[in-house]
Amino acid sequence: MRLRKPVVTASALVMLLSAAACGGSGGDEATAATGTCTTERIGGSVTQGTLLSPRGLDPVGQPGAAGSGGTEVQALFDTLITYNAETQAYEPQVAQSLDSNADHSVWTMKLRDGVTFGNGDALTADDVKRSIERHQSPSNTQVSRGEALTIASMDVVDPLTIRFTLDGPYPSFPHVLATDIGMVTNPRIVDAMGPDQFALNPRGAGVGPYELVRYTPGEEIVMAAKNDYWGGPVCIGTLRFISISGADATLDALRTGELDIALLREPPAIDEARAEGFESLPTLYNYGEGIVMNSASNRPTADVRLRKAITAAIDPEAINNRVFNGTALATSALIQEATPGLYSGEKGPAYDPDSARRLVDEVKSSGWNGSIRLLADNSPIRVNEAIAVKALLENVGITVELTNDMSLAEVLGRVASDRDYDLVIWGPNYTNEGLWALMNRQLNSQSKSNYYGYADNRMDAALADLRAADTVDKQQKIVGRMQAILNDSPVIANFAAYEEDNIHSNRVGGLLLTRGSVLRYDKAFVTGS
């Protein structure tokens, strides 16, 4: 496989590995202000509302999702490879090219000549190697480590060329270099500052289109455009990122002009914004919203009968009508039916309260007291979800102890760090692009990022096959196998696929949607209207 600009390929593999399902009724996914950044359009500022303020700006140790800092960090550091949601392909970005051998186990990358860090240092292949080694270090406790460890060795061929030898065939390896792993950090600045200080003030350490001006954790991030960005002129002079609690309040800020762009995740708010004529750049997440069940041995949900009871007790349509006013993509399935390429026809668990009651009685007869803890964050939509879920579980004889007074950040800590929960309202979030990486980190029994305590040898085998799959048909069949395994041994009671949407006003043009709702601003501009 070769990645060179422009990417023109008829390969079904590339289309599958890079397909982004952009559903919804927002119309054309291009912005109303068409075109790209030119010297005549330089100037202006943009404020974006995000879901969660990042805890740092170092690509190492900072989850790369759009809702928790992915767009901000990418603006500072850029990526070696980028995912283009419009063309549904991986494309070279800071890299000039990326070539693989026949079985996709060895990849050779050539860097562009003349790319410099913000402090003026030239970017080299050795910098790439040292940056990726930071992700591979045992000190990195974030999900990027598992994906970085797919690289068994890195050989610097010359100052602009590096060869990656993987631990096995991996046709979708370009995805790795399109994530935070592909955001190269200047190793000399990291060494001089130390990782803790670097995360708070990474000035001069990236090759992205923007330089940090101000970072106030939990409040705002302000960036200024570089005048010597390798990719050409950067039009929008100032970017500002803030987090507003709740989708309704965020949408109101967009309406009043306090925000130019709002990342929204709640279906009713997205539906309203589209109906009002705002522009839409959506990303579809399978397994987007549901109940994750902690399968660890010290939890009541270690008993697969109880996990099956919980999935049978959940009615996706009832939750959709009660919580989302019928605007969500209600489904119990791993892959939503409209997902291009991946849906196999295998159905998710059926709503069956009678079966759920029988299973609950069985588990109680084995000594369980019938009580379980449910955790949810305190956003209005999650509070309503938790109330609906509680009612459905109590309908089949489960006593639910609900905690829903914590922030999303606090819930993330309870689940990901402490793993102190029985059930949690959660979105595992599987996009088509990078599907294996996203699923493997959460469902592989050996993954350090498996927060669910889930262990099933059949799933581990299916994940291994998914990684090596090199055709659409193979991936689709493997995903069907996974659905059958999850029906038999569930860990998530899914009730909706979910859209995240970068809703924005038509004064902003030239935005590029990449993987996982992350936006590229290097070709964006403002119209002044």
Question: What does the pLDDT look like over 319-371, one tens digit per residue?
Answer: 999 999 999 999 999 999 878 778 888 999 999 999 999 999 999 999 999 99
Give the span between the Cα atoms of 424 and 292, in whole angstroms. 5
pLDDT at 5 exceeding the cut of 70:
no
| Confidence class for position 2, pLDDT limits 50, 70, 90 | low
Give per-residue pLDDT as tens, 55-104. 899 999 776 677 778 999 999 999 999 999 988 899 999 999 999 999 99
The pLDDT-based confidence of 289 (bands split at 50, 70, 90) is: very high
Sequence-distant (6+) residues with CB within 8 A of 239 are: 45, 46, 47, 48, 75, 210, 221, 222, 223, 225, 521
Q: Is a pLDDT exceeding 60 seen at residue 467?
A: yes
* CA–CA gap between residue 54 and residue 399 (Å, rounded): 36
Encode pLDDT of 227-278 as tens digits: 999 999 999 999 999 998 889 999 999 999 999 999 999 999 999 999 999 9
Residue 204 has pLDDT above 50, yes or no: yes
HSE-CB at 342 with a 13 A cutoff on CA atoms is 29
The DSSP result for 344-365, as a single string, is -S---PPP-HHHHHHHHHHHHH
- Residue 493 backbone phi and psi in degrees, to 5: -95, 90
In this model, does residue 143 exceed pLDDT 90? no
Q: Where are the alpha helices (DSSP H) in 303-407?
A: 304-313, 316-323, 353-365, 380-394
Say whether pLDDT at 30 is over 70.
no
Write down the pLDDT at residue 471.
83
For residue 338, what pLDDT is reported? Answer: 79
pLDDT at 340: 74
Does 25 or 263 have the greater pLDDT score?
Answer: 263
Alpha helices in 179-237 (DSSP H): 187-193, 195-200
CA 194 vs. chain centroid, Å, equals 27
Which ranges constitute the DSSP H helices of 213-266?
247-256
Confidence of residue 15 (pLDDT cuts 50, 70, 90): very low
| Extended beta strands in 9-54, E state | 45-50
Residue 158, sorted as left (phi over 0), alpha (psi -120 to 50) or beta, turns out to be: beta
What mean pLDDT do residues 93-122 have?
97
Percent over 70 (pLDDT), the chain:
92
In the chain, the amino acid numbered 471 is T
Identify which has the larger pLDDT, 192 or 25.
192
Q: What is the pLDDT of residues 378-419, one digit of tens each?
A: 988 999 999 999 999 999 999 999 999 998 889 988 998 889
Average pLDDT for 176-205: 96
pLDDT confidence of 200, banded at 50, 70, 90?
Answer: very high
Domains along the chain with CATH numbers: 2-277+505-526 (3.40.190.10), 285-499 (3.10.105.10)
Give the per-residue SS3 of 64-101: CCHHHCHHHHHHHHCCCEEEECCCCEEEECCEEEEEEC
**Predicted confidence (pLDDT) at residue 9 exceeds the cutoff of 50:** no
State mean pLDDT over 295-316.
97
Q: Please give the mean pLDDT across all residues of the chain.
A: 90
Residue 381, phi-psi category: left (phi > 0), alpha (psi -120 to 50), beta (remainder): alpha
